[in-house]
Copies of this chain bind each other. A is one copy, B any other.
């Protein structure tokens, strides 16, 4: 099912994620009774994605990657598992997929290294965990969750975060695990374009699909708990040490059972300055906006500052919104009919 007509401009899809099992709902079946409404939405990055520049094989790979992530999360939600586990599982799956800019497929910094950021937040307790600028952690989202659950801290960065990973048995890999030819070529193109611009040449625009990007997932579980998870390699050619919005609680990642769960993707600097994820929650709580309205407004606030991108969000009633103001966003969600909806373009 393609809903391309619904995804125009900054459109926020507000679909009720009523999963199939809910139809068997019965007051005598306790687990099922709580199961009335699960919801799930995820993204694999927003950016310059044109159908004309995409090969059918490549598109198929992206769709398969999104479906794989949706399935990983759905299986958890469907058996009554937590939104925290589901959103983490979806992100972990995309971290292992070289097509997405997170984990394995992370872009390169200007120094030719890979530095990754991730965060997870539990809407029930407002517990949160975040890591930034880690270079050897295979799945930064697993480390973010460990920071949340196994430390007194919310955010850890750099070698300190990796030391913590080591002590907690989290898989570290050699930096060359993160090498992919495609991302390396993107870095060379970006550097060449910058050099050319600096030399007064016409600034060439990098239109490589997701030369920045991020992956993220939001979920509502059968217990009514919301969670959000985000992971990224950042932006191609970023300065070493740069941290984007993904691991900033309230900017790229936020969850609160009272309102919504949000995971953003896009020009991170602008999303931080506009505090996009927390703003969506605040617009719902304090201004009475719907999820769709709040998501569109916050995205528009970031755009006014100069930043484009998108986000996925789910509210406590299971409505989902997937607005973006770029030419495309890799995305998927659990449709009203319990089937997965997967889309890329506007």
Q: Write the residues of chain A forming the contact surface with B, with a CB cutoff of 8 angstroms.
A: 109, 115, 126-128, 132-133, 151-164, 238-244, 248-251, 254, 268-269, 272-275, 278-279, 282-283, 286-287, 305
Known contacts A153-B269, A157-B158; is-contact A164 B239 (Cβ 8 Å): yes
With both beta carbons as reference points, the residue of chain B lying nearest to A121 in the complex is identified as B273
Residue from A128, A157, A283 whose CB has the most chain B CB atoms within 10 Å: A157
Instruction: Name the B residues within 8 Å of A109 (CB-CB).
Output: 160
| Total identical chains | 2
Ordered by A's residue number, 16 sampled pairs between the chains whose C-beta atoms are within 8 Å are: A126-B274, A127-B273, A128-B272, A151-B239, A153-B242, A153-B243, A154-B243, A154-B272, A155-B243, A155-B244, A155-B272, A156-B242, A158-B158, A248-B249, A250-B251, A282-B282
Chain B residues near A239 (CB, 8 Å)? 151, 153, 156, 160, 164
Nearest B-chain residue to A249, judged by Cβ? B272
- Residue contact B158 to A159, C-beta cutoff 8 Å: yes
Separation in Å of the A307 CB from the closest CB of chain B?
11
Report the separation of the CA atoms of residues A250 and B241 in the bound assembly, to the nearest whole angstrom.
Answer: 20
Q: In whole angstroms, how far apart are the Cα atoms of A163 and B133 in the complex? A: 14
- Bound complex: CA of A128 vs CA of B250, how far in Å? 15
Cβ-defined contact, A157 with B241, below 8 A? yes
| A128 touches which of B161, B249, B273 (Cβ 8 Å) | B273
| CB proximity of A118 to chain B, nearest CB, Å | 14
What chain B residues lie within 8 Å of A128 (beta carbons)? 272-273
Q: Which residue of B lies closest to A161 (CB)?
A: B241
Q: Known pairs A133-B157, A250-B251, A286-B287. 12 more at Cβ < 8 A?
A: A128-B273, A133-B160, A155-B242, A157-B158, A157-B241, A158-B241, A163-B241, A248-B250, A250-B250, A250-B275, A275-B275, A275-B278
Which of A160, A239, A241 gathers the greatest number of chain B CB atoms within 10 Å? A241
Q: Is the CB of A269 within 8 A of B157?
A: no
Give the CA-CA distance A279 to B239 in the complex, in Å. 30
Closest Cβ of chain B: how far from A149's Cβ, in Å? 13
Q: What residues of B have a CB within 8 angstroms of the CB of A242 in the complex?
A: 151, 153, 155-156, 160
Asked whether B241 lies within 8 Å of A152 as measured between CB atoms, the reply is: no
- A155, chain B: closest CB distance, angstroms: 4
* Residue on B nearest A234 in the bound complex, by CB: B153
